Amino acid sequence: MAKISVAGIAAEDVLNCLPDGVALLGCDLTILWANQCFQQWFGGVDRTGENFYSALANPDIMGAGLCPLQTCFSSGRKASTTLQTQKGNYYHIHAAPLATYASGQVAGSGTSLNEIDRIVVTLSDVTEEILQEQKLAAIHQAGAKLTDLKPDEIFAMDVEQRIDLLKDNIRHYTQDLLNVEVIEIRLLEQSTGNLIPLLSVGIDQTAADRRLMASPQGNGVTGYVAASGKSYLCRDTTKDPKYLEAFKGARSSLTVPILLHESVIGTINVESPLLDTFNPSDQQFLEIFARDVAVALNTLELLVAQRTNAAQQSCEAIHAAVALPIDDLLLDAVHLMEKYIGHDTETVSRLRDVLAKARSIKRSIQEIGQTLAPTDVSLAGSSNENHTKLQGKRILVVDADEQVRNDAHALLERYGCTVETAHEGDQAVSMVRNCLDQPYHVIISDIKLPDYSGYQLMLRLQNLMSYVPIALMTGFGYDPGHSIVKARQSGLHPKAILYKPFRLDQLLSVTETLIDYRPQTTSE
């Protein structure tokens, strides 16, 4: 390599200081020169004169397409890709052409380009990032498979079978993905604060039977996490006053809360005989997995099974427990789907499948509830027979208040509606945009959302739908910015106003009115 200096420093010395590999290749992909980082990564010897791919032990090119180096030579354009070596390392490579110019002058001098005879290749080690992405994808997939059963299969199982299913799946995925052999899961009994053991693997029996409470003091790391809702990384058990021994020889542990709607419903604790085993990435992975466990607990009725209250055993109680978690799942899936549209069709397809399965679970719970629920479930004077037009109608409720969303589920779904919810306007727009093949029959929105007004939501939805069957909710006399007046001027039905808290007769009446009403022309 010619000695070129910049500000008195040889270019070769500058390139040797880089943390990435750099190589100069000839047109036959022979290495003409490589910096020290490149040499260290691939054998620690001088690779000059070798074929580039041979020096890397013939790595695999990830993704479709031709060899990026040949593409760079043939097209004269920059090219990049990711390589996977036989040792399991990943390198992002970027190839840029060097050209020979007439009269030996440099680019930009106005001389003509003769030919490309060399390229510069830079390599960045992205192994950690790729492995993190793969592990994250695997954990999300594992979370989806925790309850990978059809709705009718779930209801065909008794409580003990569901518990055993979840235990087996959790045991498998924690050992396979998180590489831990010792795990303990406890569920929080809300009325007493007791942490009830659900699953113990590799824990000494005395420790597994130990009574723990959700308390920041005197109940070990598990009690602290349950009380605070914060994860806890114990790098050295011998030096941590909060730690209570789970098995002889334990040297480090990681404990995370199981959260449902940001409320603690239990804890997951993993332990290791090695010092400082777990890192922040492990904490992130376990926290994600814990949220999937929370959804699985609801889906499989395990939270209900931990209590023996007969009322909570009813299908209506089960549906109340899973309605908002599944709504949150739908919102997350739609958000991710919009992010990947146009970039990753396989991911979008999988997310559409998630949406379909989640909605299928909701429908099955609702249908079974209508079949098995006691005859006195309906309110007096409001029998289902009087509201048959609500059967099978899809309703979207948009409100930041969780109680309002809960009430909408409880009141409308007993009449056969399928209710989905969003917390804010942008979420509602995404939900509508991604279900235009099965549009909502009615959209009920608060007039003041966290990101904008119900009126502004109506205007945004008018860009997606020829007619927006929307009703606006408000407290009595509360209409910031005269949203209702503006909405009426823009096509809001004159009777499409609801007041909070809901009155059942008014809610049913407004919903049925919007189901029946359609404007004569789209210009109205």
Give the pLDDT score at 362.
73
Q: At the topology level of CATH, where does 314-516 sit? A: Rossmann fold (3.40.50)
Q: Where are the domains of the chain?
A: 5-125, 131-306, 314-516
User: Do the Cβ atoms of 38 and 12 come closer than 8 Å?
Assistant: no
- DSSP secondary structure, 442-502, as one string: EEEEESB-SSSBHHHHHHHHHTT-SS--EEEEE-TT--GGGHHHHHHHTT--TT-EEESSP
d(CA 150, CA 358): 10
Residue partners of 40: CB distance under 8 A and separation at least 6: none
d(CA 5, CA 3): 6
Burial of residue 436 (number of CB atoms within 10 Å: 0-12, 13-18, 19+): exposed
Asked if the domains at 5-125 and 131-306 fall in one CATH topology, the answer is yes
Q: Which helix (H) or strand (E) holds 222?
A: helix 220-228
Beta strand 113-125 with 60-61 is unpaired
How far is the first Cα of the chain from the last one, in angstroms, to the nearest whole number? 75
- The domain 5-125 having CATH identifier 3.40.50.720: the answer here is no
User: Do the Cβ atoms of 185 and 198 come closer than 8 Å?
Assistant: yes
User: Do the Cβ atoms of 349 and 335 come closer than 8 Å?
Assistant: no
Residue partners of 224: CB distance under 8 A and separation at least 6: 215, 216, 217, 232, 242
User: Do the Cβ atoms of 473 and 404 come closer than 8 Å?
Assistant: yes
User: Angle at the Cα of 183 (from 182 to 189), degrees rounded to 5?
Assistant: 155
Give the pLDDT score at 147.
56
**Residue 377 has which token pair?**
């479930």
Give the pLDDT score at 363.
73
Instruction: Report residue 480: phi and psi, to 5°.
Output: -65, 135
d(CA 23, CA 52): 9
The class (CATH top level) of 131-306 is alpha beta
Give the pLDDT score at 4.
54
Confirm whether pTM is higher than 0.75: no
Beta strand 470-474 with 442-446 is parallel
Local mean pLDDT, 10-residue blocks, the chain (524 residues): 56 86 92 93 90 91 77 86 89 85 45 69 89 69 60 58 71 68 90 90 91 94 96 95 93 94 91 91 85 76 44 52 79 82 78 81 67 41 65 92 87 86 94 86 93 93 92 73 83 88 86 87 46
d(CA 480, CA 484): 9
